[in-house]
A and B are shown apart, each in its own frame.
Chain A
Amino acid sequence: GQNIDQPTEMTATEGAIVQINCTYQTSGFNGLFWYQQHAGEAPTFLSYNVLDGLEEKGRFSSFLSRSKGYSYLLLKELQMKDSASYLCAPGSGNTPLVFGKGTRLSVIA
């Protein structure tokens, strides 16, 4: 099985930087996904990390440390529209993804 841990809720100020952490325990790990889900909407793909290190994509960056079972999503220059849930999903072997319960981020003025 898999064990995925991410904070339930976070609050940050518009224009600031926020880091959403995800720790996982999974056998046969082979990559980690981050998805964004606005309230009442479908999840959408944000990033996929296979190798250790930081991958930057505009205001969003995702980091992976395979040896530590740890990933984070970094959001810069926060905007109100970034208020959403962020789902961490580590991959294991050839089995379908298991999603974490998500971190609900609220961006305040």
Chain B
Amino acid sequence: NAGVTQTPKFRVLKTGQSMTLLCAQDMNHEYMYWYRQDPGMGLRLIHYSVGEGTTAKGEVPDGYNVSRLKKQNFLLGLESAAPSQTSVYFCASSLRGVRQPQHFGDGTRLSIL
């Protein structure tokens, strides 16, 4: 049972490039989340989804887009990467409800030069 899998684990981009981070979960969870974690800032929610085909903005959504075409996958896109988006990105999933414990992936370390 893999749990939550994030792809890729590391990536270096140049300013202006685009990329997509993939999150896949095999626990049949309804809710999925994308966070970024920066030193001294803690985990901050970017976007989240309460079910297939639905997405909603979190605390820091600007510069990111998401899609949840399949229940098990949640994609995070950066259309035009900026150095301020250098961070560690975590995906998480949970059963239905925001009070369910979240299961996190191992993270994607993204550097933008």
Contact = CB atoms under 8 A, between A and B. Distances in A.
Interface stretch (A16-24, A72-80, A91-99): A91-99
Interface in B67-113: 90, 98-99, 101-107
Interface string A75-109: 00000000000010001001111111110000000
Contacts of A42: 90, 104-107
B98 A91 contact: yes
B106 A48 contact: no
Nearest to A1: B59
B98 A97 contact: yes
Contacts of B107: 41-42
Contacts of B98: 91, 94-97
A45 B99 contact: no
Contacts of A87: 42-43
Interface residues of A, number: 20
Given A96-B33, A98-B59, A102-B42, A43 B104 contact: yes
25 contacts: A31-B99, A42-B90, A42-B104, A42-B105, A42-B106, A43-B43, A43-B102, A45-B101, A45-B102, A48-B99, A48-B101, A87-B43, A91-B98, A94-B98, A95-B98, A96-B33, A96-B45, A96-B48, A97-B98, A97-B102, A98-B45, A99-B42, A99-B44, A100-B42, A101-B41
